[in-house]
Amino acid sequence: LAGYISQVLKNYTDHACDGEYISLRCPHRTTISIQSSFYGRIVPSHQMCPPRYPHSYAALIKEDVACSVGTSLQKMLDECQDRRSCQFLVNSRLFGADPCPGTGKYLIVWYKCRPNEYKNKAACEDDKLRLSCKKSMVIAIYSAVFGRTQGGSLECPYQSLGMPMIECQSATALQIMIKRCHGKRSCNIYASTYEFGDPCYPGIRKHLNVIYTCGRSATFYPPEITPSLFPVDETQPPAFNGSMEPVGVSTEMALLSNILAAYSFIT
């Protein structure tokens, strides 16, 4: 079971070049949860996905290294979200109009494996959140968000002092929940700015949302967090800028911040 939980908590990254199959797979009793996706090219071909036919016409023209499409995330959600596994051939026709004809592109996908049986608990700002498992079982934190998301929370209706709805999330929520609750039978924590800081503008009512599972092992490692969001064969991984397609700009940044914060904590 400890090995199963380790797989569940892991952050997966997979990629495929044009003309290759991409295959996502999760362990038994879990399903794919797409976190983010990118299709295009933002690094030279000698760093990633070189041309299949070096002497072809495509290799003679100047390749576009500022190329991306805005439909890759939705395509991945349509193909793979909530499935145990999925596989398809990567090519530009899948994503609509080709943003850079003649330039070889690639697909990168970030995903997690969501347990089929998990607990989702939420608390409004300044309320206490209690997590608990049955006797002989302990908590394994899957994800944590403190702030305000576009989807909001039914338990905590949006309130502000005349300000528009803006998504805002704490960069350390996952790290804090791991430190406070991971591997324990039960724990209590207040959904407060004292615990998590204030990632939002003054007056915006926030909430804490935690997804966790219960297991029979008291030796869970914290979630396996990989500091690099890029395939291991890249020698000079670039920094994604605005051309990367996220769930939302702040969601992407929160994901990246959570990964780096958790990695620092684990180290």
Encoded amino acid at 243, one letter: S
Which residue ranges form the domains of the chain, and what is each CATH number? Answer: 2-115 (2.60.120.740), 119-219 (2.60.120.740)
Please provide residue 36's backbone torsions phi and psi, each rounded to the nearest 5 degrees: -165, 170
What's the confidence (pLDDT) of residue 53? Answer: 62
Tell me the C-alpha distance between 76 and 86, whole Å: 10
Dmax (CA) for the chain in angstroms is: 66
- What average pLDDT values come out for the chain (267 residues) when binned by 10 residues? 54 90 86 90 87 57 83 91 91 88 90 80 91 87 83 61 70 90 91 90 85 68 40 36 35 45 50
DSSP string, 134-197: -TT-EEEEEEEEEEE-TT-BTTB----SSPPP--EE-SSHHHHHHHHHTT-SEEEEE-SHHHH-
Phi and psi dihedrals of 95, rounded to 5?
A: -110, 15
Phi, psi at 18, each rounded to 5°? -55, 135
DSSP state of 14: E
Position 38 scores a pLDDT of: 93
How far apart CA 265 and CA 195 sit, in angstroms, is 16
